[in-house]
A = this chain, B = another copy of it.
Amino acid sequence: MDMGVEGSVVCHSGVMKTRNDEIHRLHSTVCKALSDPKRILILDTLRHGERSVGEICEMLDLPQTNVSQHLGVLRSKGLVHSRRDAQWVYYSLVSPKVTEAIDLLVEVMETTKTPNV
């Protein structure tokens, strides 16, 4: 009698059902998007507004092919939105919560004192 709060069903000798599914979806979307350093860098690049692919490449000094691949992943995970304007494609965050989350993760890192690398 110390858990089982917040609307989740607890199956004894089993797993919390809805919470389990929720976390698996969390992993396959947001967490998987953050599981590569370059993708985090790209998201950070979009912090202050939309950027074209070429602008991101220049800011991060990365080849275009690679940036397009990562942007494709981020879009498939639903974290960024793309808008075409003539020859250029501009990417932007679907929500400011994305960078808010990154900032909170940085806070977590700092409170954990990052023991080893």
Interface, chain A (partner B; CB < 8 A): 2-3, 13-16, 19-20, 22-32, 34-37, 40-41, 44, 48-49, 58-61, 76-79, 94-95, 97-98, 100-102, 104-109, 111-117
Instruction: State whether A32 and B35 are in contact (beta carbons under 8 Å apart), knowing that A25-B117, A44-B19 are contacts in the complex.
Output: yes
Q: What's the number of copies of this chain in the assembled complex?
A: 2
A95 to B26, CA, bound (A): 21
- Most chain B CB within 10 A, of A26, A28, A34, A98, is at A26
Q: Which residues of B contact A34 (CB under 8 A)?
A: 27, 31, 34-35
A116 to B23, CA, bound (A): 15
Residue of B nearest to A41 (CB): B23
Other-chain residue from B29, B95, B107 in contact with A97 (beta carbon distance below 8 A): B107
Other-chain residue from B48, B49, B95, B111 in contact with A95 (beta carbon distance below 8 A): B111
A20 to B109, CA, bound (A): 15
Other-chain residue from B15, B22, B28, B94 in contact with A60 (beta carbon distance below 8 A): B15
